[in-house]
Structure 1
């Protein structure tokens, strides 16, 4: 992992639901030995008790000295405002994409370009947690297909610019940057 004096990194942590993606991202952030800001992309819904419990479990796992920001939409704007030394964990891209599903295609393309530009220009470490939603059956409903396609395309775009990409699955962490070859398209 890099030290405080080295250049920033973009790190992508991807995998299935409940695979340990967030825990691995948190371990990576801790190893950087920098102040950490945890960026939660979820909307809180006090009427959804199961969702609240999931959020609470994430909160309990994080060190109390980490900052937590709830940013359900404006990721690019937030990334642009953060300065070193800092490490951001953005958890998760799947939730963020679902928050943006009402955007039409041109607006979504601009939103995506703004995020990618902010990541490329960022001067802080950014660890992005993303769900792999495209490994199952093609969703039967248009909104499900839209979500899967947008998330898959976004993960691919971030994977291309990431310094390191990890896949967390089956109780194992795979460094895709060491094991695989980068697809440049």
Structure 2
């Protein structure tokens, strides 16, 4: 039996920065089978959203498997995280948006379940996450809730990740090589 060393990678940055493309390159470099974990929910009435999803689909190698996982991310990591495959999760922002209706107690359980699944995995998991906290404070409660939950999630994954990349301005920065993680 082959034993895989756990490798948690976080790729973060603003919209249209190339985060997904960089994460896809990293997944190819693992030389493992890739399971693309898509967190988006396709809305047939939103043509622009469907176009974005299609762009991502067309860019992926045909040999990659796609799993549609709008909610059960921790369970997916537990199911496939030890399979010798590389999981590419795109994206955490969409996943958080899918769970905004959870109250605070349920969200904390969901967050802890995800973090526990990462601590227990022995495989490769690459996350794509949007940076939403660099702009103005959202004017509406749901926007502030989204920004705060995603920011907390990105920070917690960033602390346990082996490597964290920031993709912005057409450049990739290895934050793990340039800085130090904050303490939990």
CA distance in 2, matches of 1:183, 1:69: 32
Cα contact 2:4–2:123 (8 A) shared by 1? no
Q: 1:70 aligns with which of 68, 72, 75?
A: 68
Task: State the match for 1:88 in structure 2.
Answer: 87
TM-score (normalizing by structure 1):
0.96
Kindly provide the CA deviation profile for residues 104-162 of structure 1, in whole angstroms up to 9, marking residues without a partner as x. 00000000000000011112100000000000000000000000000000000000000
Q: TM-score, normalised by structure 2?
A: 0.97
Cα distance in structure 2, aligned partners of 1:6 and 1:44: 33
**Is the 2:4–2:84 Cα contact (8 Å) retained in structure 1?**
no
- Please list, as runs of the form range in 1=range in 2, the aligned pairs for 1:90-129 lying within 5 A after superposition: 90-129=89-128
Q: Distance in 1 between matches of 2:111 and 2:54?
A: 29
Q: Give per-residue Cα distances to partners, 1:36-70, cap 9 Å, x unaligned.
A: 00000000111111000000000000000000011
Residue 15 of structure 1: which of 1, 13, 16 is its match? 13
Q: In angstroms, what is the RMSD of aligned CA positions?
A: 1.0
Q: Map of 1:1-185 to 2, 5 A cutoff? A: 7-82=5-80, 83-185=82-184
- d(CA) in 2 for partners of 1:69 and 1:181? 33
- Gap regions ≥5 residues in structure 1: none
Residue 11 of structure 1 aligns to a residue whose secondary structure is strand
Matched position secondary structure for 2:84:
coil
**Which segments of 5 or more consecutive residues in structure 2 lack a partner in the other structure?**
none
Q: Distance in 2 between matches of 1:5 and 1:43?
A: 34
Greater than 4 Å deviation, 4+ residue runs: none
